[in-house]
């Protein structure tokens, strides 16, 4: 009975001979049974342990009956907003409604509510007063404790309290959800499940909290930004599954939200087992007439190689969600999945990606991490690679070679992000050479994000000299191979620490390197990142130092326009920015100028300079809010 979709209604449940499901999984995304979707992994994992699962995708939150289509589950509800935070899914950084939703049928927007986890939990509670509710996924994971919420511009309570759920399974969830299911199946009351790593529970009894660090209470962090930054620092320093401590915060001195230490990382065998589960690798057929699910298109023929990231960009939530310790599947597991994928009738010979948050990470940063964890107050790559970092591309290179040798495979692309500082640190350039020769098609995506060392420092990124070294190596290799290929740089405007002069410096760098980006990512303050804490508090939480933060929409628009100074519609903003910064030297017709002294009807080019024909690919939407992207 495994080679089919999970039941999505009572008729399908009864067809399996079930009178009642054990768990109902409620999801803000459409039902896609593919291992790139967290809901698919969790439901298939529970199914493999013998539990009967019913799947409710995108219930109508205005209709109480939409949550009751299976009746009351025997053990409880699992609730997730889907692969993205629902607020990131709905709104741009300018807080404007997005036009499409890639995780909904036909890309239609509006099929899930704002703050989906809370709305779904309220929907359940109106019908089932006492049935256990466990929330998880990105939205719940990154809002597990009190947090700054960009959309309301306020500090909000833990999502556990806002939603009325009983437990949060945070992080990737495989270990904790199985333990929760087993505890409920044994007859344990959900209020007594207080001991599972990777979970958050609430209590009014402080006597059951032991061996824990107390965070500043909710009232304190709403009144003091310094206290907020201090609270975030403690949380950030306790994300390691081997060294992380139990944490708790108080609400009015009567309610306690307790975060147990993170769950241990998966072993390679556990990773292999999860990706070998009987996924249909497709969206539910009921969506076919509605136009399918756009999000599946890019990842249907992609392979997940790893999870976790020790890159620790400050604007990325991966540290708080997936963790710093890289976990990998075996080559055999990936090859077997590729062979299954190749037999799909829609496969055209192209594997679209092989990677994860960072493509080339195929092992923990150093040998000690899987035994004692990652260093608490030291980073693996910033400000420079740690002396204990193992820089080795050989395993990933071998994997790519095996994949491109498979029958029916014409090309294996690598589209996950790369850490160019990790590539530069490898004295053996064989991998970069083969990457250029076989695994990109004219363009390679990397993320310098900025070039000002002042901004890069606050991003947790290496200095611009490292990026320049990478560019030199990339050009050298392509010159030898005779290929005309380009770097697609991802750039970010208005990150904490970025002043107008930093944006101008970036514009000059782009001018000198003949780069004209089609799209620029404004910094988006999503929950769970160091940078979001800087944005809200004006304090770098890990150093305690003050950070300049540009929050004025017009000033942010000036910075953004400078990065795209060639666009005619940006002329007025660019000129205003240059005059404000007293950089009139960049207004004129000389080759070092960014804009002419008067607005031109058409895009301009400097005299005696060939028109640049390089194309810059648009940056794709993030999968974790943060992206990672995944991310």
Give the list of residues 6+ apart from residue 136 with CB closer than 8 angstroms, or none. 38, 42, 78, 79, 80, 168, 169, 170, 173, 177
Give the list of residues 6+ apart from residue 564 with CB closer than 8 angstroms, or none. 516, 517, 520, 570
pLDDT of residue 598: 82
Q: Which residues pair with 241 in a beta bridge?
A: none
The count of C-alpha atoms lying within 13 angstroms of the C-alpha of 115, restricted to the half-sphere facing its C-beta, is: 16
pLDDT of residue 440: 92
pLDDT of residue 626: 40
Give the list of residues 6+ apart from residue 618 with CB closer than 8 angstroms, or none. 518, 519
pLDDT of residue 321: 95
Find out whether 523 and 492 touch, Cβ atoms under 8 Å: yes
Between strands 53-57 and 23-27, the pairing is parallel
Structural domains of the chain, with CATH = 10-201+252-259 (3.40.50.280)
Give the list of residues 6+ apart from residue 402 with CB closer than 8 angstroms, or none. 331, 335
Q: Annotate 562-574 with DSSP letters as a single string.
A: HHTTTSGGGHHHH
Find out whether 349 and 291 touch, Cβ atoms under 8 Å: no
Question: What's the CA gap between 470 and 465, in Å, rounded?
Answer: 9
Nearest-Å Rg of the Cα atoms of the chain is 25
Between strands 199-203 and 212-214, the pairing is unpaired
Give the list of residues 6+ apart from residue 413 with CB closer than 8 angstroms, or none. 350, 351, 352, 353, 439, 440, 441
Give the list of residues 6+ apart from residue 363 with CB closer than 8 angstroms, or none. 326, 328, 390, 392, 395
pLDDT of residue 258: 98
pLDDT of residue 629: 37
Question: What's the CA gap between 200 and 144, in Å, rounded?
Answer: 7
Find out whether 171 and 141 touch, Cβ atoms under 8 Å: yes
**Straight-line distance from the first to the last Cα atom of the chain, in angstroms, rounded to the nearest whole number:** 35
Find out whether 578 and 587 touch, Cβ atoms under 8 Å: yes
CA angle 181, 186, 188 (to 5 degrees): 85
The mean pLDDT values, 10 residues at a time, for the chain of 631 residues are 84 96 98 97 98 98 96 98 97 96 97 98 97 98 98 98 98 97 98 98 97 98 98 97 97 96 96 97 96 94 96 95 96 97 95 95 93 92 95 97 97 92 95 95 90 97 96 94 90 97 98 90 96 98 97 96 96 97 96 88 48 42 39 32
Q: By three-state DSSP, how is residue 488 classified?
A: strand
H runs (alpha helix) in 171-224: 174-185, 218-223
Q: By three-state DSSP, how is residue 288 classified?
A: helix
To which residue do tokens 């904790």 refer? Answer: 176
Task: State if pTM tops 0.85.
Answer: yes
pLDDT of residue 602: 52
Question: What's the CA gap between 126 and 77, in Å, rounded?
Answer: 14
Q: What are phi and psi of 553, to 5 degrees?
A: -55, -40
Question: What's the CA gap between 89 and 538, in Å, rounded?
Answer: 26
Question: What's the CA gap between 200 and 190, in Å, rounded?
Answer: 12
Question: What's the CA gap between 285 and 181, in Å, rounded?
Answer: 29
């Amino acid at each position: 009975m495994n080679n089919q979709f999970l039941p999505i209604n009572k008729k399908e449940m009864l067809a399996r001979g079930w009178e009642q499901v054990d768990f109902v999984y409620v999801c803000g995304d459409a039902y896609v049974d593919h291992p790139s979707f967290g809901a698919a992994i969790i439901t298939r994992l529970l199914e493999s342990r013998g539990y009967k699962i019913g799947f409710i995708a995108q219930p109508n939150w205005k209709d109480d009956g939409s949550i009751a289509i299976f009746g009351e589950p025997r053990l409880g509800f699992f609730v997730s907003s889907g692969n993205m935070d629902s607020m990131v899914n709905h709104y741009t950084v300018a807080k404007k409604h997005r036009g499409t939703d890639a995780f909904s049928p036909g890309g239609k927007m509006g099929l899930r509510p704002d703050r989906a986890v809370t709305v779904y939990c309220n929907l359940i509670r109106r019908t089932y007063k006492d049935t256990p509710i466990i929330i998880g996924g990105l939205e719940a994971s990154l809002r597990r404790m009190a947090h700054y919420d960009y959309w309301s511009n306020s500090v909000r309570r833990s999502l556990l309290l806002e939603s009325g759920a009983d437990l949060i399974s945070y992080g990737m969830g495989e270990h904790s959800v199985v333990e929760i299911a087993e505890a409920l199946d044994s007859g344990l009351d959900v209020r007594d499940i207080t001991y599972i790593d990777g979970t958050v529970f609430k209590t009014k009894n402080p006597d059951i909290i032991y061996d824990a660090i107390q965070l500043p209470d909710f009232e304190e962090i709403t009144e003091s930004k310094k206290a907020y930054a201090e609270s975030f620092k403690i949380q950030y320093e306790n994300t390691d599954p081997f060294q992380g401590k139990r944490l708790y915060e108080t609400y009015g001195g009567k309610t306690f939200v307790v975060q147990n230490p993170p769950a241990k990382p998966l072993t390679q065998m556990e990773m292999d087992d999860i990706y070998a589960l009987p996924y249909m690798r497709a969206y539910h057929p009921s969506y076919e007439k509605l136009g399918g699910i756009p999000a599946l298109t890019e990842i249907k023929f992609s392979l997940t190689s790893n999870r976790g990231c020790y890159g620790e960009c400050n604007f990325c939530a991966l540290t708080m969600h997936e963790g710093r310790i890289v976990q990998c599947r075996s080559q055999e597991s990936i090859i077997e999945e590729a062979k299954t994928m190749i037999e799909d009738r829609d496969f055209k010979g192209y594997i679209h990606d092989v990677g994860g948050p960072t493509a080339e990470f195929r092992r923990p940063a150093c040998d000690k991490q899987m035994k004692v964890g990652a260093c608490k107050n030291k980073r693996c790559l910033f400000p420079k690679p740690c002396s204990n970092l193992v820089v080795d591309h050989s395993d990933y290179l071998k994997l790519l070679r095996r994949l491109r040798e498979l029958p029916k495979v014409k090309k294996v692309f690598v589209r996950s992000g790369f850490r160019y500082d990790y590539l530069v640190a490898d004295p053996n350039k064989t991998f970069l050479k083969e990457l250029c020769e076989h695994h990109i098609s004219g363009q390679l995506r990397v993320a310098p994000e900025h070039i000002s060392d002042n901004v890069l420092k606050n991003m947790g990124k290496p200095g611009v000299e490292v990026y320049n070294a990478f560019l030199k190596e990339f050009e050298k290799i392509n010159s030898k191979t005779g290929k005309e290929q380009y770097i697609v740089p991802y750039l970010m405007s208005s990150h904490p620490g970025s002043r107008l002069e930093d944006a101008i410096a970036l514009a000059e760098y782009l001018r000198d390197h003949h780069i004209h980006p089609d799209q620029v990512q404004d910094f988006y303050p999503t929950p769970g990142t160091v940078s979001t804490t800087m944005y809200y508090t004006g304090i770098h939480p890990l150093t305690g130092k003050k950070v300049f933060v540009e929050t004025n929409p017009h000033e942010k628009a000036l910075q953004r326009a400078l990065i795209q100074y060639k666009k005619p519609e940006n002329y007025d903003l660019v000129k205003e920015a240059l005059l404000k910064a007293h950089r009139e030297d960049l207004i004129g017709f000389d080759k070092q100028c960014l804009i002419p002294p008067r607005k031109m009807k058409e895009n301009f080019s400097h005299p005696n300079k060939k028109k640049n024909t390089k194309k810059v690919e648009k940056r794709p939407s993030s999968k974790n809010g943060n992206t990672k992207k995944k991310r």
